[in-house]
Chain A
Amino acid sequence: MAHFILLLHESPANWADVTPEEMQQVIEKYRAWSQRLVETGKLAGGHKLRDEGGRSLARRNGSVEVTDGPYAEAREVIGGLFVIEADGYDDAVETARDCPHLEFGGRIELREVEPT
């Protein structure tokens, strides 16, 4: 078993017309999804990333420049991440495939963690 990270990329523009009922349904789907993972011992963690206050750091002309962002209004931001256990990419894809994050046009980047 190896750890995989699901990076949840989201596009705020997709939320304008989401109805309250749809939101509640997706939350229920998340509940079912994460409960299934917990029961099968596949869920290793998850973090919601704060929307505000991001910083970008880069070395430019010999010194580190810090800029604000990315902003929540950006076309696409990483809203959060889950860590799962899986038996290789095929297995991990099967778990990520049902993640309700995909309901509103979000994108999931799936990456295997290099074992230490």
Chain B
Amino acid sequence: MEGEPGREVHGLVDGLFRREAGRMVSVLCRVFGPHNLQLAEDVVQEALLRALREWPFHGVPDDPRAWLVQVARNRALDLLRRDANLARKVPLLREELDGGEVSAPEAFFGGEVEDDQLRMIFTCCHPEVPREARVALTLKTVGGFGVPEIARAFLAREATVAQRLVRAKRRIREAGIRFEVPAGVELLRRLDPVLEVVYLVFNDGYAAASGEAALRADVCAEAVRLAELLAAHPATASPRTHALAALLLFQGARLPARVDPQGGPVLLAEQDRSRWDRGMVARGLAHLERAAEGEDLTPLHLEAGIAAAHATAPSYEATDWPYILSLYDALLAVKPSPVAALNRAVALSMVEGAGAGLRAVAEVADHPSLAAYPLLHAVRGDLHARLGEAEPAAEAYRRALELPLSEPDRGLLRRKLEECGGA
């Protein structure tokens, strides 16, 4: 029988399609040029679809990755053969097109894939690309995430995400953005927006109020991967890149302990620290060491330092709070933000007591950007509860519950409200 549907025994590596989509789009973007990003995406989508439509009948091939790459490559060559304009711009493939020896797929998807992914990140985060589109574009093209997934992870409408992507790709075409990792002074200017996007990818995945823990974990893992990719490349491995990688690794290490078996949130104070990913913490510490080389002391360094102090503390109580407090003071001095000030108030309360924490919270409470921030009231409630002030604590939790919250967070606050007798 021609088709042997039952013959395959091995499964696919988790995230294979997503990862390969990101790799192949990056490589094809080099081949076709970034102005043809959409074309590159179409070719990859076609290759994956062909797998989806053939493998059920023929079984998963022994080397699924090689299969996908081969199909994408053939499709790309096909397009180039048919379109002389396109082909003229890709001297790389001239020989193959002229009927020369058709090389192994490595000529196409060789060891340079990581470099292509870096070029792709710099293209997505180019200053000409609208800022609000950079995160989505990076996740889509480098990470292989689909529009519906991006929309779900960031609580945006699919149509909004799709529109942003279309506009970003048009901008890449119109601005003639080059597919390259910039060098010299240009790199200095362009690295920060890249780091910012990777930071935002992680943060949005980390903090998203959406209940989809698995998808959020995937988004965070992608941000960690990108940070480590940037930190591993000589051109982009600056101290601040290492600081970012350290920060994300420390925070990512805590992810497994952040949700209980019912999907509810577990606060730092109550997390089972044996579930933290020790391997990630170790990698984080290595990056932190590299981050300290040189004179650079960025907000990323300070945030990484805070995260390191948490990640290496044996328990919440035995955390080096005075050190964390000093880092928050330094952070607020270089990058004032009401959310960081709120976190500083928590650290202060661990050093000088809940009363001092409450006074510090009161100082930032009127900041307009915290008006709809439920954590402000949750922190206030916790501090009152620690002082045994049940009524003000209940009042604060109720204020928090009036604001938009995910269901798991809502459940947590309701429990706290009950505990102080205010249910």
Give residues in A with beta carbon < 8 Å to B.
10, 15, 17-24, 26-28, 30-31, 34-35, 37-38, 43, 45-48, 79-80, 82, 100-101
Q: Does B423 sit within 8 A of A, measured CB to CB? A: no
| Cα separation A43 to B4 with both chains bound (whole Å) | 9
Cβ-defined contact, B57 with A17, below 8 A = no
Cβ-defined contact, A27 with B55, below 8 A = yes
Note all chain A residues with C-beta closer than 8 A to B1. Answer: 45
| Cα separation A31 to B49 with both chains bound (whole Å) | 16
Note all chain B residues with C-beta closer than 8 A to A79. Answer: 53
Interface of A is mostly: helix
Note all chain A residues with C-beta closer than 8 A to B5. Answer: 34, 37-38, 43, 45-46, 82
Note all chain A residues with C-beta closer than 8 A to B8. Answer: 31
Cβ-defined contact, B57 with A28, below 8 A = no
| Cα separation A53 to B17 with both chains bound (whole Å) | 28
- Least Cβ–Cβ distance between A33 and chain B, in angstroms: 8
Q: Does B16 sit within 8 A of A, measured CB to CB? A: yes
Note all chain A residues with C-beta closer than 8 A to B52. Answer: 18, 23, 26-27
Given contacts A27-B51, A34-B6, A48-B3, are A21 and B56 in contact (CB under 8 A)? no
Can you list, as one digit per residue, whether each of B39-62 has a CB less than 8 Å from chain A (1) or not (0)? 000000100110111111110100
**11 additional contacts, CB 8 Å, given A24-B12, A48-B57?**
A17-B148, A19-B147, A21-B15, A23-B51, A26-B52, A27-B55, A28-B12, A43-B5, A47-B2, A48-B3, A48-B53
Given contacts A17-B146, A21-B18, are A45 and B48 in contact (CB under 8 A)? no
Interface of B is mostly: helix
Q: Does B395 sit within 8 A of A, measured CB to CB? A: no
Note all chain B residues with C-beta closer than 8 A to A46. Answer: 3, 5, 56-57
Closest-by-CB residue of B relative to A100 is: B56
| Cα separation A114 to B162 with both chains bound (whole Å) | 49
Cβ-defined contact, B58 with A31, below 8 A = no
| Cα separation A69 to B395 with both chains bound (whole Å) | 71
Cβ-defined contact, A19 with B58, below 8 A = no
Cβ-defined contact, A19 with B145, below 8 A = yes
Q: Lowest 6 CB-CB distances: which A-B pairs, in order? A: A19-B146, A38-B6, A20-B17, A48-B57, A30-B56, A24-B17
- Least Cβ–Cβ distance between A12 and chain B, in angstroms: 9
Q: Does B11 sit within 8 A of A, measured CB to CB? A: yes
Q: Does B21 sit within 8 A of A, measured CB to CB? A: yes
| Cα separation A82 to B3 with both chains bound (whole Å) | 9
Note all chain B residues with C-beta closer than 8 A to A24. Answer: 12, 15-18
Q: Which of A15, A19, A34 contacts B56 (CB 8 A)?
A: A34
| Cα separation A10 to B58 with both chains bound (whole Å) | 18
Cβ-defined contact, B146 with A45, below 8 A = no
7 A-B pairs within 8 Å (CB atoms) are namely A15-B49, A20-B146, A21-B146, A31-B11, A47-B3, A48-B3, A48-B58
Closest-by-CB residue of B relative to A44 is: B1
Closest-by-CB residue of A relative to B144 is: A20
Closest-by-CB residue of A relative to B21 is: A20
